[in-house]
Amino acid sequence: MSVVLVTGAAGLIGAEAVRFFAAAGFDVVGVDNDMRRVLFGNDASTAWSRRRLETTISGYRHVEGDIRDTALIDSVFARYGRAITAVIHTAAQPSHDWAAREPQTDFTVNANGTLNILEATRQHCPEAPFIFTSTNKVYGDTPNLLPLVEQEFRWEVSPEHRFAEHGIDESMNVDACLHSLFGVSKLAADVMVQEYGRYFGIPTVCFRCGCLTGPEHSGTMLHGFLSYLVRCAVTGEHYTVFGYKGKQVRDNIHAYDLVNAFWHFIQAPRCGAVYNIGGSRHSDSSMLETILACERLTGRPMNWSYSTKNRTGDHIWWISDVRRFQADYPDWRYRYDSNSILAEVIDGVAARQIMMGK
C-alpha cells in the first residue's frame, strides 16, 4: 500500500491532488473540515467537493479534522506510518483580507497547522516528499516597487527591468515590506518547511503560487479571484474591482498544472526546495482584460463597479518566473492557457449553479 496524504482535500488544489494521485494508483487519505465555509460563508463551502470525492474516487478515505489538532494529526500519520509516500499540504486560511479579522486564527491555521503536519511527517514518514502550497504573498508588497508602466488595460514592468520578460523569480527579497498578516503566517510556514528540509533532511518543497484556479474552485469575494469573478459574470451578481484602475495583473495556473508539478517533484525530490509557480507569461491577465474576456464568452456585460481603495498588501503586477522549476524538472509542461482556463471555469461555475438549484 502506497498512501498519499492530502490536507485541505476538498479544496481546489487538494481535490485535484486526490483525483490525480488516485488515478496514478495510490491510496489517498484526505484531511479536511470545510473551514472554508466557516471563513467565507455557505457559498464557499467545499462540502459538495467532499461528497464528489467520496462517491467517485474508489478507496478514498476522508478524515474530518482540523490541522491545528496535534493529537488528531499525529494519530492519522501513525495509522499509515511509512506507507505514506507523499504528503501534500494544501490546507490553509487563504485570504489576506480575512486574516486581519482574526490574526490568531490565521496564524494558528497557517503556521502552527503546517508545523503539526511537518512534525508528524518527521516522526512517522520522514522519507516522504512534503509538498507545501505557499504563496507569492511571502514577498509582501515588494513587487509594487518595480518600475511599472501604465498601458491601456494593464500595468507592465518597464521593459529594461530583468523581470520584464519572464516574471518575478525567487531572488526577490521577503524583508522590509508590508506583507498583510496572511503573508506573515504563510511566510512563517514557508520558512519552517524549508528548515525541516535542510535541518532534518526531509525532502520538502515550497511552491510559491500565483493565482490558483480551475472549475472546481468555490470562489468568494475574499478569496478565489477568477472563480468569483466568473461567478458574478455568470449569475449577474455585482463585482467590485479594488484599486489600481483595474489594471492589476495576475498570472493564473490551473489546478491540474500545479498538481502535475507536485508529481514531478515527488519523482525526484530535493530538500528545502523553493519555486515560484504560476501561469507565468503563458497565462496572465489584468482585471480589466479578464472582465472583457468574460463578457465576450458569456455574451453579456458584467455588473461591476470600481473602488479607488486597493486591498492592503495587494500586488499591482505579479507574473511568476517558473524557469527554476522548469530547469530542475524539464518534462513538466502546461496543459492549460488563459483561454482554456477561463472557458473551463465558466462551464464549471455554470454547472455548479445548476447543481445548487440557482
Output the tens digit of pLDDT for each of the chain's 358 residues.
Answer: 799 999 999 999 999 999 999 999 999 999 999 999 988 888 889 999 999 999 999 989 999 999 999 999 999 999 999 999 999 999 999 988 899 999 999 999 999 999 999 999 999 999 999 999 999 999 999 999 999 999 999 999 999 999 999 999 999 999 999 999 999 999 999 999 999 999 999 999 999 999 999 988 877 776 767 889 999 999 999 999 999 999 999 999 999 999 999 999 999 999 999 999 999 999 999 999 999 999 999 999 999 999 999 988 889 999 999 999 999 999 999 999 999 999 999 988 777 666 566 5
Q: In whole angstroms, what is the distance from residue 247 CA to residue 318 CA?
A: 12
pLDDT tens, 21-74?
A: 999 999 999 999 999 998 888 888 999 999 999 999 998 999 999 999 999 999
The pLDDT value recorded for residue 59 is 85
Q: Which residue's C-alpha cell is 518575478?
A: 168
Check residue 58 and report its DSSP letter: T
Q: Where are the beta strands (DSSP E) in the chain?
A: 3-7, 27-32, 61-64, 84-89, 130-135, 148-150, 155-157, 204-209, 211-213, 239-242, 249-254, 273-277, 284-286, 304-307
**CA 106, 34, 96 angle in degrees (round to 5)?**
30
Exposed, middle or buried, 70 (CB in 10 Å: 0-12/13-18/19+)?
middle
**Hey, what domains does the chain have and what are their CATH numbers?**
3-355 (3.40.50.720)
Residue 222 confidence (pLDDT): 65
The predicted structure's pLDDT at residue 138: 97
- Can you give the pTM of this predicted structure? 0.96
